[in-house]
Amino acid sequence: MDDEYLRNLMVDRQLVSRGIRDERVLAAMRKVPRHLFMPGPSRDHAYSDMALPIGQNQTISQPYMVAIMTELLELKGHERVLEIGTGSGYQAAVLAELAAEVYTVERIPDLAASAARNLADVGYRNVHVLTADGTLGDPEHAPFDRILVTAAAPDIPQPLLDQLADRGILVAPVGERYSQILVQAIRTGNTIHKNYQTHCIFVPLLGRHGWSS
Ligand code: SAH
């Protein structure tokens, strides 16, 4: 079976059937070659309904979780987006299909390097990978119209809220070490309004404004 067939099956069975409605998100996930962002051993399962190991004790998120988070960002195409937790680079590729510029921060240098390589190989020119503690955001390129955190913290790191533009949307898993709620935070002036979404489980966000270990 070819990978395009498997991708369409993934979108129809895992995303459309569970209520993902944003046509642009569905189209992006029909397009991005998820298997090319995975190390060899995980590739056979690239389009399965689960998170998968990408080395360094980290995981690429389940397709459905990528779709929910991306849908909650309500991207129209002109946005500058910050992602914290590059991992494989897959989520950054989906964002790159839907926004103008993507800045993505990863704390583990080897993962940042392989993600940057994969993104370049697949042809993304609008993604910039940085190696740093993403709990500090990316002050050099702030403010951002959208911020997506793909690792879990006890609370939304304050620097990220500070770097969110007016009318900007931030999505992050927040809660306990092994169980979180996905939060959509919307800035209007100096007010942050939080919408609590679905239960989720992410690897920890480790850093100054995250977990310490
Ligand atoms: N979005 C990724 C999956 C992320 S897994 C994908 O599409 O594959 C979470 C990632 O967050 C891991 O790679 C982990 O190393 C990274 N991470 C954890 N704490 C971080 C921090 N403080 N700054 C940047 N990245 C961090």
For residue 36, the CA-to-ligand 1 centroid distance in Å is 18
Cα dihedral 102→64→75→22 (10° resolution): 150
* Residue 42: predicted pLDDT: 87
For the CA of 61, the closest atom of ligand 1 is: 3
37 neighbors 96 (Cβ within 8 angstroms): no
Name all domains of the chain by residue range, CATH numbers in brackets: 64-200 (3.40.50.150)
Q: Which amino acid is at 183?
A: V
**Ligand 1 pocket by C-beta < 6 Å: which residues?**
58-61, 84-85, 87-88, 90-91, 105-108, 111, 133-135, 150-151, 203, 205-207, 210
Q: In the chain, which ranges are E strands?
A: 52-55, 58-60, 80-84, 101-106, 127-131, 144-149, 164-176, 179-188, 191-200
Q: How confident is the model at residue 201 (pLDDT cuts 50, 70, 90)?
A: very high
Q: What are phi and psi of 103, to 5 degrees?
A: -110, 130
Determine the average pLDDT of the residues in 182-188: 98
88 annotated active-site: no
- Which tokens go with 198? 């679905």
Is the per-residue pLDDT at 79 higher than 70?
A: yes
CA angle 166, 152, 187 (to 5 degrees): 10
Pocket test for ligand 1, best of 206, 211, 213 (most atoms within 8 A of CB): 206
31-69 per-position pLDDT tens digit? 999 999 999 888 999 999 999 999 999 999 999 999 999
Angle ∠(203,12,186) on CA atoms, nearest 5: 50
84 within 8 A of 148, measured Cβ to Cβ: yes
CA distance 142 to 66: 23
**Which ligand 1 atom is at minimum distance from the Cα of 94?**
7
